[in-house]
Chains A and B, each alone.
Chain A
């Protein structure tokens, strides 16, 4: 009897709290940057994403418009349970309205689910799995920057067409690695190539020797690295140690970032081909932004993930300003209706499945002689127009897409 009274009391309190939804909740727009601050993805996301989010808030002119915006951040340590708990606490107890970035596809999938349950907003820049706009698509999530399908389509196509038709995959053993391997395998097979072997390695592996030996034994022409960050750079360095290239095999980095190339150095990384959606040295606008970013982030130039966080937050704030509410589902819907325009990605659109559409670029790492500065690292090989860069809308199994 007391129990049910208590429950009723608790429910009443909860109901009362939930009524005030028609305006910006508690007057503040709270943006939570959830990413890897201390582990293998810390350089390509980490504090840089926080800087990018803050730059977006300033460039939007929030204070001038009378909007109170706050940016907080947390480290999910690449663990799905840590990320999920932070997201849950942020939404339920700390009044966060939108979570951005979230590299590590396992964490992103967990946060995707919680955001949907709570009706908030989730702007993904860091994570790669194409499932976020596929089976796991949600009316509360927008997948910005890139995804595994776009990477596979860009890099995979280019490599197979130049003769790399037998592949061995070295895959990070979690959602991202599996998705990247799956999407790239599909491209290879579609172009007449063959996958002769695969091996899965734990996330944050430091010693690739036994995996590289297996790759050597397979005699595949291409060793596809379906991993990212520290895993990719370690594999590349150790492949040199074991004479992989001398044995006639080539490494294909399927997801490589500016900070990885900078860390490897041009002598080791030269000639690597990969797909990205942003590079700071493409045009005047990106250059200007890149320099401003570097000043605020200890001289480190922005990766495409940082750029994605900036663009997504900017577009989000525009939508909130137009609707005068921060209800997650409504804002995401508005963001999908409005075409995007920012100095970094130019003009673009967001599809019904939450996929942001923009051009993708095929880059090659410069030779040391071609580079004029410590961050002058890429040359453009090809542009993949937006209409072809991403998985067609009807192929993703997204329940939000009407057939």
Chain B
């Protein structure tokens, strides 16, 4: 319940900027999900837990190895990505012949396990993680002070998203991946190791989630439940964008963040639900999603 008198530009631009920051997280996370789903047809419910693990690895590195943020940006995605690879090899592979729903149920169960274990160990309020020294401070933009770290989040996310898009849509490796999804047998006949590609792709999607986790650590507090409610919003973003579309999830992620920010200015009570309302509308009008290919 907020009473903002009139709509001063300070409030508007400020919330839009916050919206872009939130949107960056939506974009990276939905990108990871879209990559995994679009190429592997797996709904990765564990994505939220893997995001959380990325943040925790960053915290561990700082706490026990004295390695700071920049190391974490590199190490956390690798570490969590490797865990993802192990997961895919041991468990997910067995489910490819079955209904896709089982993949969803398995990853859901795994998310529960991971979140439960972390919650047991660390409680459910946040652990502090310092903003890296190079990015402290803020810039006075006139209508608000924009902390440097949050500006970095926007820029870095854009780079990562566009980079991923470029790899998948414009490089040979990406072409192989896309071909492998459409017709794995044929691609295998060309001598390409399809199962390995699938495993690596899953690992990559998971690494993206962990990267988002490291980005989030200084702002959102490292806590075991940080991915739990976020994952559902990300699902909605992916549905809106079109389940298999890479560019769709990037654009929708940022877009949804901005719309959420706008809603916070005009009608704050609805800011949580606006994403789902949009999803419902998109489903009515264009069931395949805004950028999706028709099934």
Contacts and interface: CB of A to CB of B under 8 A. Distances in A.
Contacts of A246: 145
A216 interface: yes
A243 B138 contact: yes
B125 A39 contact: yes
B138 A242 contact: yes
Contact of B223 (A37, A206, A209, A218): A206
B2 interface: yes
B257 to A, nearest CB: 11
Given A38-B119, A218-B4, A210 B15 contact: yes
B221 interface: yes
Nearest to B13: A213
Contacts of B128: 237, 263
A39 B14 contact: no
B8 interface: yes
B138 A241 contact: yes
Interface stretch (A105-113, A196-204, A270-278, A338-346): A196-204
B132 interface: no
Nearest to B271: A210
A206 B126 contact: yes
A242 B2 contact: no
A214 interface: yes
B268 A199 contact: yes
A209 B17 CA distance: 10
A69 interface: no
Interface residues of B, number: 34
Nearest to A229: B125
B11 A213 contact: yes
B1 A198 contact: yes
Contacts of B1: 198-200
B264 interface: yes
B55 to A, nearest CB: 11
B186 to A, nearest CB: 47
Interface in A22-61: 37-40, 42
A216 B223 CA distance: 27
A237 B126 CA distance: 13
B124 A242 contact: no
A200 B10 CA distance: 20
Contacts of A243: 138, 140, 145
B290 interface: no
A234 interface: yes
A16 interface: no
A13 interface: no
A114 to B, nearest CB: 25
B125 A40 contact: yes
A164 interface: no
A373 to B, nearest CB: 22
Contacts of B264: 210, 214
A207 interface: yes
Contact of A197 (B2, B138, B145): B2
Contacts of A1: none
A167 to B, nearest CB: 12
A247 B142 CA distance: 11
Interface in A245-282: 246-247, 263
Given A38-B124, A200-B1, A204-B125, A234 B221 contact: yes
Contacts of A139: none
B122 to A, nearest CB: 9
Contacts, number: 81
A217 B11 contact: yes
Contacts of B149: 241
A217 B261 contact: no
A234 B138 contact: no
A301 to B, nearest CB: 19
B117 interface: no
B147 interface: yes
A230 interface: yes
B15 A213 contact: yes
Interface in A276-335: none
Interface in B186-225: 219-221, 223
Given A217-B14, A242-B138, A197 B3 contact: yes
Given A206-B220, A210-B18, A217 B125 contact: no
A198 B140 contact: no
Nearest to A263: B128
B4 to A, nearest CB: 6
Given A206-B220, A209-B18, A243-B138, A214 B124 contact: no
B123 A242 contact: no
A210 B261 contact: yes
B226 interface: yes
Contacts of B268: 199
Contacts of A200: 1-2
Contacts of B221: 206-207, 234
Contacts of B14: 213, 216-217
Nearest to B219: A207
A230 B126 CA distance: 8
Interface string B167-190: 000000000000000000000000
A247 B144 CA distance: 10
Nearest to A215: B2
Nearest to A199: B2
13 contacts: A38-B119, A39-B124, A40-B124, A40-B125, A197-B4, A197-B5, A210-B15, A214-B2, A216-B144, A230-B126, A234-B126, A241-B131, A246-B145
Interface of B: 1-5, 8, 10-11, 14-15, 18, 21, 119, 123-126, 128, 131, 138, 140, 144-145, 147, 149-150, 219-221, 223, 226, 261, 264, 268
Given A196-B5, A200-B2, 16 more contacts: A197-B3, A198-B1, A199-B1, A206-B223, A207-B219, A210-B18, A210-B264, A213-B14, A214-B264, A216-B10, A217-B4, A217-B10, A217-B14, A218-B4, A243-B140, A263-B128
Interface of A: 37-40, 42, 196-200, 204, 206-207, 209-210, 213-214, 216-218, 229-230, 234, 237, 241-243, 246-247, 263
Q: Which 10 A-B pairs have the closest CB atoms?
A: A243-B145, A40-B125, A206-B221, A213-B14, A217-B11, A230-B125, A199-B2, A38-B123, A39-B124, A206-B220
